[in-house]
Amino acid sequence: MITIDHTIKEPSSLGFLYSPTNECIGEIENELQLYDVQIQICKQNVDGYYIVWHEYTINIDHDGNLSEWPENYCDQSQGAFVELHRIRLEKKGMKDPIPDSAFRSWRHTESA
């Protein structure tokens, strides 16, 4: 029987965005807002912006690259796709080239 797991939630916050002068611009609430910020930074070729998420400070360079990608930061969609891809390969008798140690559970819920 197929069910819907209502405990699976996307994070409601991807952190707070700060300017190069340490002014809080606001909260990033979803992945598309994060991409939009990265695109703006890349287009304007500016440095010094950063995100504070939990205990992490994630710098954004002038190309919109994040300095790090902490575990559980905006990774649920990718993790779900990887799991589906692995199951499909297994059903075909093929081995996934990505080692098990690289696989993370994407069903985590946001912790404060």
Least confident of 13-17, 40-44, 68-72: 68-72
Are 17 and 57 in contact, with CB atoms under 8 Å apart?
no
What pLDDT digit, counting tens, does each position of 77-97 carry? 777 888 888 888 889 888 777
Q: What is the pLDDT, as a whole number, of residue 112?
A: 37
Residue 109 clears pLDDT 70, i.e. is over it: no
Would you say 71 and 46 are in contact if contact means Cβ atoms under 8 Å apart? Answer: no
Closest C-alpha among 84, 54, 81 to residue 70: 54
Whether the per-residue pLDDT at 42 is higher than 90: the answer is yes
Q: What is the pLDDT of residues 50-79, one digit of tens each?
A: 999 999 999 999 999 999 988 778 877 777
Per-residue pLDDT, 107: 66
Tell which wins on pLDDT, 39 or 97. Answer: 39
- Tell me what percent of the chain is helix, strand and coil, each rounded to the nearest 5: 30, 15, 55
